[in-house]
Amino acid sequence: MERERSLEDLLRGVGNPVDLLRDAQALPYTFPVAPEFTNWRDEQRSWRESCALLDQSHHMTDLFVEGPDALALLSRLGVNGFEGFGPGRAKQFVACNPEGYVVGDAILYCLGGGSFDLVGHHMVLDWVEYHAESGEYDVEVERDENSLLRQGPPKVYRYEVQGPLAPEVLRRAAGGELPEVRFFGVAEVVISGCRVRALRHGMAGQPGFELSGPWEEGERVLEELLRSGEEFGMLRAGSKAYSAANLESGWIPSPCPAIYTGEKMKPYREWLPAKRAGSLGGSFCSEKIEDYYFTPYELGYGRFVKFDHDFVGREALQEMAERPSRRKVTLVWNEEDVKEAFGSLFEKGGLLPAKYIDLPLSNYATLPYDRVEKEGRVVGVSTYTGYSYNERSMLSLAVVEEEQAEPGTQLTLLWGEEPNSTKPTVEEHRQVEIKATVAPVPVAEYARISYRKG
């Protein structure tokens, strides 16, 4: 049987990882959930004004890690502290390469009895699975791919109930008061006779819960949630609305994984399938792939870093902690410049239009990177772009120099590629400058003030 081509094989054939990713022929990613149940504008509005139900059962991957050394494995790879981490808790698990740059992040559930569930995009799950297989750990891993890759249904259903009325909907569905649970705490509730794991957090920067359980019970739970949500104006949110929810909560879901370079990472690249390569897009151009990497501090994960244990990247992060860091911000795009970019689609006479701005999510590569400038000097990168109906604005999440990070600072974003890459998602276009105002992250007031309290 022929060995599957690895990422290292792919890189060996092209040399510079940036060239490989810039012209990657990956097709647009589609969430395997209905695009809209009503319309994405009302669906976005529902998580700000009433309640939204989002189905997360299909687009994420689960990696179940179990065994006597499961916690030791996760502690060795996670920058997070694990003191007191036990059943009834979850955390945003962040992993770095040996140089302290982020490989990825995911949600980690402690299921008890030496069993854990790591949920999210494949980047960090691949990293954990590789170490489980290659290291001397007494663990077993089971991977449940997303519905685009898996044959048959998932093992676990996962529903998000988000919005100011989410607690009321869940009380009605559970038939009584909810257990007191802190942010990222996990409680058990019973819905329609089914035991449901309820994680308190929110993808849209609003109060809410992530509900999960065995797939076989998912339809019963969903029916009860929909019935309970009727009087509170709850709407189901499709993939269009959901794809841009993180713009309001401030989470960057697709930082470039720090895996493409470094001799210490070579064994991992030799293990990792070539299809994981991804695609790079946007106006930020550097010949060094390392310029696309982020530290935990730049992504707002500094509060997770705990030097009370030994983990991959620890020494590098200790040095980084003493140095100035760029800061994550929200950029609010100038509405007149956005209108002009859209208007260029209707100009005649041979002038190329601006790069098409899709709504509500405007990314056209798995790894979006646009230049952010101040008086012609690059001061940061913008990484995730879309439209918030709640803010009535085009927003992007960016990482900029500390002195440019104060709310109200005026910056300029360069939209589009030069030269145009050969990605299938890129049409012939011209670059345009769009003025942008720095705003807090998260941009949603509730997320900034109350999101993590309790």
Q: Alpha helix locations (H) across 272-334?
A: 314-320
* 202 band by pLDDT with thresholds 50, 70 and 90: low
Of 13-17, 98-102, 209-213, the range with the lowest mean pLDDT is 13-17
Of 151-155, 158-162, 206-210, 303-307, the range with the lowest mean pLDDT is 206-210
Contact 371, 413 (CB under 8 A): yes
Q: pLDDT tens digits for 111-149?
A: 999 999 999 989 999 999 999 999 999 999 999 998 778
Closest CA to 88 of 156, 187, 181: 187
Contact 281, 367 (CB under 8 A): yes
pLDDT (average), residues 234-258: 94
pLDDT at 35 exceeding the cut of 50: yes
* Residue 22 confidence (pLDDT): 95
- Hey, CA dihedral for 127, 384, 53, 147, is it positive or negative? negative
Topology annotation, domain 40-60+151-249: Gyrase A; domain 2 (3.30.1360)
Contact 92, 74 (CB under 8 A): no
| H or E element at residue 398 | strand 393-400
DSSP line for 179-214 = PP--TTBEEEEEETTEEEEEEE--TTSSSEEEEEEE
* Residue 257 confidence (pLDDT): 97
pLDDT (average), residues 243-262: 94
pLDDT at 281 exceeding the cut of 60: yes
* 206 band by pLDDT with thresholds 50, 70 and 90: low
Give the amino acid at 421: S
Q: Which CATH class is domain 327-449?
A: mainly beta
Domain boundaries, the chain: 40-60+151-249, 327-449
* Residue 451 confidence (pLDDT): 44
User: What's 219's DSSP letter?
Assistant: H
Contact 298, 326 (CB under 8 A): yes
Alpha-carbon distance 305 to 285, whole Å? Answer: 30
In three-state secondary structure terms, 123 is helix
